[in-house]
Amino acid sequence: MKNKILKILTKTNGIKSGEKLSSELGVSRVSIWKHINKLREAGYEIISTPKGYYLENNHDYLFPWEFPKREADIHYFPETESTMDIARNLARKGCPDFTIVIAEKQTRGRGRLQRTWLSEKGGLFFTMVLRPVIPPVLSSRVNFAASCSLARVINHLFNIDAKVKWPNDILVCEKKISGMLSEMEADGDLVSFINIGMGINVNNDPTPYEPNAASLKILAGKEISRKELLSAFLDDFQSAMKNIDYDKIIDQWKQYTMTLGRYVSIATTKDVSRGLAIDVDKDGALILELADGKLKKIIYGDCFVQPPKKQ
């Protein structure tokens, strides 16, 4: 009902009376009044006049009713420690495939190797619960499919040349705009769930804390609709998962990568490896050519790409 009211008010050029809202939606005027008050409490600027209601601002909220086809599967929090923690609990309790946990702000957002992910208001922070019927050995390829979808959507929506840095960060002009963290649990020979958490710098400004980061707003020079971005990404990724060919994912990912052919250093909890990134194997491991010419396979780690040489 909230979504229907918002749709009508958004499309109405002017004031919409409570009587007309009641008639169009088939509910009482008292019910309309109650729903509008709830929307106001959530932050919507709905103005009352003697002739009816109107919506004053262009909102960019991420409440479940803003996604009518997904409303039942979206869990929204104004603030939480980590969407990954909530998603893990939901997954273990049997929530459906493509359950989404969204937070306006995280107080303990984290990236790879337990690094802190800054989660300030204006960004897009969410975790997806996925239940592909696959053996655990294929689970890492789902992460690569997700990063492909995000890069593809950013390119399409904003005409921004988004690239993927191994394993799954999204960069534009060498500046990081998105990071990903995933975890998997198995039940016997099959995956029970894969949770993929994403943090995307949309309308926030991470540069005071992370000079090598950027946001879509900074790059585009205007405010970006987080709702539009999330909707487009979820539609693209869900479609990709329905038609997924696990043997071709890495090749698709390579179309967007900016890592291969570059000198990199990979930090893990144990050591740092340096060399030329020459390939990514079928399971997503990075193949480095070391200074002595030997090849080394890197399964996980934080990748730092050396700046390209100036011509």
Residue 242 resides in a domain: yes
Residue 112's pLDDT is 54
Place 113 in a pLDDT band, splitting at 50, 70 and 90: very low
Residue 274 annotated as lining a ligand binding site:
no
C-alpha–C-alpha distance, residues 18 and 31, integer Å? 10
Residue 111 annotated as lining a ligand binding site:
yes
Kindly state whether residues 153 and 51 are assigned to the same domain. Answer: no
Containing 57, the helix (H) or strand (E) segment is none
For residue 45, which amino acid is it?
Answer: E
CATH number at residue 6: 1.10.10.10
pTM listed for this prediction: 0.85
Residue 86 resides in a domain: yes
For the chain, give percent helix, strand, coil, nearest 5: 35, 30, 40
Average pLDDT, the chain: 90
Residue 310 resides in a domain: no
Residue 114 resides in a domain: yes
The domain in which residue 296 lies consists of: 263-305
For the chain, the domain total comes to 3
Residue 33 resides in a domain: yes
Residue 244 resides in a domain: yes
Residue 311 resides in a domain: no
Residue 112 annotated as lining a ligand binding site:
yes
CATH number at residue 161: 3.30.930.10
Kindly state whether residues 244 and 95 are assigned to the same domain. Answer: yes
Q: Considering Cα of 160, then 163, then 169, then 174, what sign does the dihedral take?
A: negative
pLDDT tens-digit series, residues 23-75: 999 999 899 999 989 888 887 888 888 888 888 876 788 989 889 889 999 99
Whether residue 167 has a cis bond before it, omega within 30° of 0: yes
Kindly state whether residues 243 and 165 are assigned to the same domain. Answer: yes
CATH number at residue 273: 2.30.30.100
pLDDT tens-digit series, residues 251-263: 999 999 999 999 9
Which three-class secondary structure string do you get for 180-238?
A: EEEEEEEECCEEEEEEEEEEECCCCCCCCCCCCECCHHHHHCCCCCHHHHHHHHHHHHH
Kindly state whether residues 88 and 171 are assigned to the same domain. Answer: yes
Average the pLDDT over each of 19-23, 150-154, 184-188 and give the range with the smallest value: 19-23
